[in-house]
């Protein structure tokens, strides 16, 4: 089953320095149709103005994956981690028993990121942070696992959730069949371009919840950048 979450249907926040769209409901007055999918509870599309960002704040018992689409993201945390994450890079933070961090736009153009939150398999554990570049050329024509909670996904950043985060760069005219477990759930977002999923047209920045299917057939109408979470 496919449930198309169109860009214009997503809840919105505008704080001046931050423009956000929420693929999953984040408040009691949000879109009730945009419920969580298993451990996947947050997928925010954030645009952060140059020179701005999130002040120091805390998290616990959450796996937070940041996918940078445009610009440069600065990160500092109470573990002593200090890094700059560029477009094409992925950051993973396992909050565990508790971590505080700040994130900010270190560039001169608007910073565009996906913030994806997953509930961990188990509460607690030592907090951790890591980041890694994933060249878009390596994702050409196929999905590549960027972060994973499963052994055997070589090259992926480790997370402590029953999930995988995948990315693909597909050319117009290409077609990809992605195998899924019917007992699991997936959420696919078109970061750029246009596609069809099992015949359903999906435009730029739209999301699609995919449930109770053994595979999804993706046909590419325009050159597209895709990000997907396959969750338990």
Task: Give tens-digit pLDDT for 88-108.
Answer: 899 999 999 999 999 999 999
pLDDT band at 139 (very low <50, low <70, confident <90, very high): very high
Q: Which residues, including other chains, have CB under 8 Å from residue 8's CB and lie 6 or more apart?
A: none
d(CA 66, CA 84): 12
Q: Determine the Cα–Cα distance for residues 200 and 153; give it in Å rounded to an integer.
A: 30
pLDDT at residue 61 in the model: 98
Q: What is the pTM of this model?
A: 0.96
Residue 50: phi, psi to the nearest 5?
-60, 135
pLDDT digits (tens, 9 = 90+) for 207-224: 999 999 999 999 999 999
Q: Compute CA 206 distance to the chain's CA centroid, rounded to the nearest angstrom.
A: 13
Nearest to 18 by CA among 116, 131, 103: 103
Average pLDDT over residues 124-130: 97
Residues in the annotated binding site for Fe cation: 57, 59, 101, 103
Give the pLDDT of residue 28: 86
Domains located in the chain, CATH noted:
2-231 (2.60.120.10)
pLDDT digits (tens, 9 = 90+) for 27-71: 888 999 999 999 999 999 999 999 999 999 999 999 999 999 999
> pLDDT band at residue 232, thresholds of 50, 70 and 90?
confident
3-state secondary structure of 217: strand
Give binding residues as ranges: 57, 59, 101, 103
């Amino acid at each position: 089953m496919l449930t198309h979450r169109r860009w214009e249907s997503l809840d919105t926040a505008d704080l001046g320095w931050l423009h956000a769209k929420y693929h999953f409901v984040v408040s009691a007055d949000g879109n009730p149709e945009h419920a969580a999918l298993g451990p996947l509870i947050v997928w925010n599309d954030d645009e952060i103005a140059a020179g701005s960002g999130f002040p120091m704040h805390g998290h616990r018992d959450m796996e937070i994956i940041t996918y940078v689409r445009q610009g440069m993201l600065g990160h500092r945390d109470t573990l002593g981690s200090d890094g700059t994450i560029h477009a094409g890079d992925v950051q993973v933070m396992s909050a565990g028993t508790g971590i505080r961090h700040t994130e900010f736009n270190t560039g001169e153009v608007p910073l565009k990121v996906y913030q994806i939150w997953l509930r961990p398999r188990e509460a607690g554990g030592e907090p951790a942070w890591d980041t890694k570049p994933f060249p878009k050329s390596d994702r050409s024509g196929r999905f590549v696992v960027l972060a994973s909670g499963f052994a055997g996904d070589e090259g992926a950043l480790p997370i402590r959730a029953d999930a995988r985060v995948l990315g693909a760069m597909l050319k117009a005219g290409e077609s990809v069949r992605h195998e899924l477990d019917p007992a699991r759930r997936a959420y696919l977002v078109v970061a750029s371009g246009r596609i069809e999923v099992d015949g359903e047209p999906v435009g730029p920045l739209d999301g699609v919840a995919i449930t109770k299917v053994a595979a999804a057939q993706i046909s590419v109408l325009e050159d597209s950048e895709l990000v997907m979470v396959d969750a338990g």
